[in-house]
Amino acid sequence: MKSPIEFEECLKDSPKFRKYLEREESDIEHLEQRLEKIVKMCILAVDSGKEYVKNQSAFATSLWDLQKHFAEDKNAHNALGKIIHCFQEMNKFHTILLDQASRTVLKNLTSFIKDDINQVKDYKSHFAKVSESLDNALVRNAQASKNRPQEVTEAVNILSATKSCFRHTALDYVNFITMLQAKKVPSILSTLLDYYQACGTYYHQGSDLCNDFDEFFKGLSEEINDMRGDYLQFEKSMQNRHMSVNSFIDNNCTKPSNTIEGYLFKRKSKGFKTWSRRWFYLCDNKLLYSDLSSIRKRGDDETNVMEEDLRICTVRPVDDLDRRFCFEVISPTKSHILQADSAEMRQAWIAALQNGIGAAIHNNAIARHINSPTSTGLSNKRKIHWEQFLKIPGNSKCCDCKSSEPRWASINLGITLCIECSGVHRSLGVHYSKVRSLTLDAWEPENVKVMMELGNDTINRIYEARKSENLDLVEANENCDISVREAWIKAKYVEKRFVRRIPQPTDEDEKDIDEDVSSRKWTVKKFRRRTRRTSSSKSENEELSSLNTNSISLNISRENLLMVGEDLTSTSYENECILGSDQESTEGEDNYCEEEEDFSELNPDLLLYRASAGHNLPVMCMAFALGANKLWQNEKDLNRTPLHQAVLSGSVMACEYLLLNGVPIDTIDDIGYTALHLATAKGCIAQSYLLLKHRARHDIVAKDGKQPLDIAVDQRNADIVTLLRLTRLNEEIGMSEDATGEDETYKDVMKDFSHFASSQPRLLRNRNENNND
């Protein structure tokens, strides 16, 4: 390729050379403007293409959501899947095309502008400076005076050097311009050719994709035509839809009673007793309903539980209301008035509920048989002979309304209840009363021990000591209204209105004491309620005959000494032992009393603390009734809690009673010991098991740096070491990602300890003693 200008013209800096430069510079500037516009438009095209791809991808995603709607229609589901796949593949092809546009058009043309055009423009500035220097040198040479030889010589030298520099610079500038003009055509055309080939590939891939699915979509088109024919047939069949109304009415009343469901009107129990229409049905021994208005307004189809357990409910028709076809569902806590649309539907609902109640009781009995120890091996819960509980003094009648043959119990209060009162107790919350069935539930051994130590007579001496002073409140009875029952039970256990306050030195009950108050003491006797297998001794009969059930709960038992709760702990009764007592696992009692305290120190907190040390549950109950603080710690005794004292006493049932009534399990004393530390240090296996069952922390480090496991290892107590290590292992298994529940080995071992702790408490205690010998 020949240069468009002769080199001689460059060296002469002729007008022809200058015109050539002007023409070429204008051409390059025009080329730059056109290329910059192409790059700008290409950027817009790529950006808009990316936005299109983005929206196309969102469109495909929405089709995936539509496909889920047809999850049960395999043909529609599969067809949508293939269509969506085609769209997504085309979207991928488009993404590749946009990437090729960026890699070819944008990259190459931008590079040509920056590397080639800008290089010529930069050299243009350099050429202009050299050209200006030559002009200046020519002027200076012309102006040099012939009378100044030195000035003439200097001007000639400068002119010669400047001409040489200009000629070399002019040749380089012409070279840059010539190379740019020679390069621009192949560079631009090759770039656009690459993009054209990318477009061809894009359309070719789309065509191949459509060809691959051509047979499938032809078949799909035929299926769509068949579907349209089926639709027309179905539309004709639906014209007879109104004929099904009569058959529905006929079938609805003859439907099996245990599967009934439908709309009923429900009357509110409070306020204006308005009626609302709800959808009711029976499921899993429960009566459930849905709020139609919530479904319509908010799409909220949450199910409401009207009755949690049909086993404790009854149902009867109600004819003394203004509305027709009403019936009532009655539970221990409340009643519900419902209204059917007709007499037939009311009868159907009553029959369904009665059958549901019967089925729930029957199924529960089968489940208890399957899960009983004789069916599945050793269990840590026992099915008791509930009649034996009723032999405890006062337990043959409901503790609150005195109705006969109670079948329910509150395990933290140690009382028996009728079904109506048990419902009210449930409504109080488990922090007041924990309700169990005597006949339906399996009982843990520790709960049985607590029940054996208390009873209705004992509890009522505490919680009804001052009921004669509250004549404004109607006492609950067997046939009372539920509102009366609720008011009485809440006043008794929540407000504790009838509990006799703790005596003070100025009480009228103490006015006959001549001694100085400062010299008086009080104490709590260690206690176990005795069960008699033979007739009572003479002294025992005399003690029973002198018992005054209306006496106050804090008595003077000997001169200057207040034996707290003596009248509460004097009852014995004839009964075969339901479960082995833990009496032999604790320190002796008989006439032994806890440490005597000054009368001025008598308060509910210290009373609970001393009663826990004496495993005296009636007095512990009295302390709770008087308002003992469950978080209290004895600053005069290493900041220990009642639970610490119960552990030191060796009593399982005292620990269980405190835990049932919400005493914290992991409180530390001044040496950093928890109840579990103390149980381990004493070698009390049954207590250690009980604390671990109630989720006591086994990883707390005491101030001596020891955890309970360290103490058990030091004492070589293999049983407690086993309990602690298995508990830690079970927790590690439970925290793993693959855990599916409590380890079976752990559950089996804990069941064995439970059985052993309840049946052989003395043997468990002696194990550690033998190890220490």
* pLDDT of the residue at 367: 52
| Number of residues that make up the chain | 773
Percentage of the chain lying above the pLDDT 90 cut: 39
Question: Which 3 state secondary structure label does DSSP give 512?
Answer: coil
Give 576's Cβ-side CA count (13 Å radius).
5
Q: What are phi and psi of 521, to 5 degrees?
A: -130, 165
Tens digit of each residue's pLDDT (9 = 90 or more) over 176-224: 998 998 999 999 999 999 999 999 998 998 898 888 888 888 888 888 8
Question: Which residue is listed with tokens 């010529």?
Answer: 120
* pLDDT of the residue at 375: 40
Nearest of 677, 643, 637 to residue 660 by alpha carbon: 643
Question: Which 3 state secondary structure label does DSSP give 274?
Answer: coil
* pLDDT of the residue at 726: 86
Q: Helical H runs in 213-277?
A: 214-237, 244-253
Instruction: Decide the pairing of beta strands 335-339 and 326-330.
Output: antiparallel
Is the pLDDT assigned to residue 476 strictly greater than 70? yes
Which one-letter amino acid corresponds to residue 538? K
Tell me the sheet residues that pair with 397: 404
* pLDDT of the residue at 132: 92
Name the residue with higher pLDDT: 560 or 671. Answer: 671
Question: Which residue is listed with tokens 């069952």?
Answer: 693
Is the pLDDT assigned to residue 311 strictly greater than 60? yes
Tens digit of each residue's pLDDT (9 = 90 or more) over 129-153: 999 999 999 999 999 888 898 988 9
CB 342 within 8 A of CB 320: no
Vertex 187 angle, CA 186 and 189, to 5°: 65
Pair of tokens at residue 643: 């639970």
Instruction: Name the average pLDDT for the chain.
Output: 81
Pair of tokens at residue 75: 């043909």
pLDDT band at 574 (very low <50, low <70, confident <90, very high): low
What domains, with CATH codes, occur in the chain? Answer: 7-219 (1.20.1270.60), 256-371 (2.30.29.30), 381-600 (1.10.220.150)
CB 430 within 8 A of CB 410: no
Sign of the C-alpha dihedral computed for residues 216, 222, 228 and 233 taken in this order: negative
* pLDDT of the residue at 513: 42
pLDDT band at 519 (very low <50, low <70, confident <90, very high): low
Q: Which residues contact 373 (CB under 8 A, 6 or more apart)?
A: 379, 382, 383
CB 669 within 8 A of CB 638: yes
CB 547 within 8 A of CB 598: no
Vertex 596 angle, CA 593 and 600, to 5°: 140
* pLDDT of the residue at 288: 92
| 724 vs 699: CA distance, rounded Å | 10
Is the pLDDT assigned to residue 722 strictly greater than 80? yes
* pLDDT of the residue at 272: 77
Question: Which residue is listed with tokens 């889920």?
Answer: 68
CB 355 within 8 A of CB 427: no
CB 334 within 8 A of CB 423: yes
Calculate helix-pair angle for 74-101, 15-69, nearest 10 degrees.
170
Average pLDDT over residues 158-164: 92
Question: Which residue is listed with tokens 């539509």?
Answer: 66
Tens digit of each residue's pLDDT (9 = 90 or more) over 56-112: 999 988 998 898 888 888 888 888 988 998 999 999 999 999 999 998 999 999 999
Pair of tokens at residue 476: 């609950």
DSSP codes joined into one string, 153-194 = HHHHHHHHHHHHHHHHHHHHHHHHHHHHHHHHHHHHHHHHHH
Is the pLDDT assigned to residue 382 strictly greater than 90? no
pLDDT band at 542 (very low <50, low <70, confident <90, very high): very low
Average pLDDT over residues 10-25: 88
Nearest of 447, 485, 489, 492 to residue 465 by alpha carbon: 492
CB 133 within 8 A of CB 162: yes
| 381 vs 451: CA distance, rounded Å | 15
Is the pLDDT assigned to residue 754 strictly greater than 50? yes
| 521 vs 526: CA distance, rounded Å | 16
| 186 vs 178: CA distance, rounded Å | 14
Residue 455 falls in which region: left (phi positive, over 0), alpha (psi -120 to 50) or beta: left
pLDDT band at 14 (very low <50, low <70, confident <90, very high): confident
* pLDDT of the residue at 361: 63
Percentage of the chain lying above the pLDDT 70 cut: 78
CB 616 within 8 A of CB 565: yes
| 530 vs 436: CA distance, rounded Å | 24
Is the pLDDT assigned to residue 334 strictly greater than 90? no
* pLDDT of the residue at 246: 64
Q: What are phi and psi of 558, to 5 degrees?
A: -155, 170
pLDDT band at 524 (very low <50, low <70, confident <90, very high): confident
* pLDDT of the residue at 75: 85
Tens digit of each residue's pLDDT (9 = 90 or more) over 478-511: 888 888 999 999 999 999 999 988 866 554 444 4
CA 362 to chain centre: 33
